[in-house]
Amino acid sequence: SQQGEEDPQALSIQEGENATMNCSYKTSINNLQWYRQNSGRGLVHLILIRSNEREKHSGRLRVTLDTSKKSSSLLITASRAADTASYFCATDVTDSWGKLQFGAGTQVVVTP
């Protein structure tokens, strides 16, 4: 079973709008990482948030983590057409030795 599950599965917005996607997970984590994937290519690392952090920012990205609810959210502000991609959350669990556990991803389409 997947550790992380993203919601929604798909999101369609217009340029300039904000995009928010959520990730829920099941077990305690060391950290949670968000990735972007464009059309079947490699995963691009966006941001890592540690279990003792609540919020992190990177450019137009804002990530929150609520360990009590076992959930995280990724906000992309002022979306651009180039943000069209699939977004995945991945959890780093103690003793998982190199294994990040991924959700199914959120497909985001940003139309001009």
Q: Which residues contact 41 (CB under 8 A, 6 or more apart)?
A: none
CB of 92 to other proteins, least distance (A): 4
Residue 15 or 55 with smaller CB distance to other proteins: 55
Is 73 a binding residue for other proteins by CB under 8 A? The answer is: no
Dist CA 71 CA 3 (whole Å) = 11
Torsion sign, CA atoms 54, 61, 37, 15: positive
Interface with other proteins (CB under 8 A), residue from 22, 96, 107, 109: 96
- Among positions 11, 21, 23, 35, the unique one binding other proteins when judged by CB under 8 A: 35
Toward other proteins, which CB reaches closer, 13 or 51?
51
Nearer to other proteins, 17 or 53 (CB): 53
Which residue(s) pair with 40 in the sheet? none
